[in-house]
Amino acid sequence: MLLLALLLSAAPAPAPALPSAPLPLQAEAERAIPAPAAGALMEVSTGRLLALVRPEELVTHAHAPGSLMKLVAAWAALRADQGARSFECTGKDVHRGKVRTCWRRDGHGRIGLRQALADSCDIWFYKVARLLGPRRLLQAAREMGLGSATGSDVPGEVAGALPEPLPELSSPEFAVGRMDGLALTGLQALSLMGALANGGTLWSPRLAGPPAQRGKVGTRDELEDLSRALRDAVQSGTGAAASDLPIAGKTGTAPVPGQEEPLAWFAGFAPDDAPQVAVVAFVPEGLGARDAAAAASDLTRVYFQWRDRGGPSAR
Task: Kindly list the residues in this chain that would bind Zn ion in the complex (CB under 5 A).
Answer: 89, 102, 104, 108, 121, 123
Q: Please identify, using beta-carbon distances, which residue of 55 and 177 lies nearer to Zn ion.
A: 177
- Whose Cβ is closer to Zn ion: residue 130's or residue 142's? 130
Question: Please, what is the minimum distance in Å from the beta carbon of residue 265 to Zn ion?
Answer: 19
Which CB sits closer to Zn ion, 59 or 116? Answer: 116
Cβ closer to Zn ion: 61 or 130?
130
- At closest approach, how far in Å is the CB of 67 from Zn ion? 12
DSSP result, 112-156: EHHHHHHTT-HHHHHHHHHHHHHHHHHHHHHHTTTTS----SSTT
Instruction: Give the Cα separation of 303 and 195 in Å (integer).
Output: 19
Shortest CB 128 distance to Zn ion, Å? 12
Distance of CA 192 to the CA centre of its chain: 7
CA distance 144 to 180: 19
> What b-and-e string marks burial along 11-24, b requiring 16 or more CB atoms within 10 Å of the CB?
eeeeebebeeeebb
CB nearer Zn ion, residue 213 or residue 236: 236
At closest approach, how far in Å is the CB of 169 from Zn ion?
Answer: 21
Q: Beta-carbon neighbour count of residue 310 at 10 Å?
A: 8
Among residues 308, 311, 299, which one has the least CA distance to residue 31? 299
| Whole-angstrom distance, CA of residue 119 vs CA of residue 234 | 9
Nearest approach in angstroms of CB 125 to Zn ion is 9
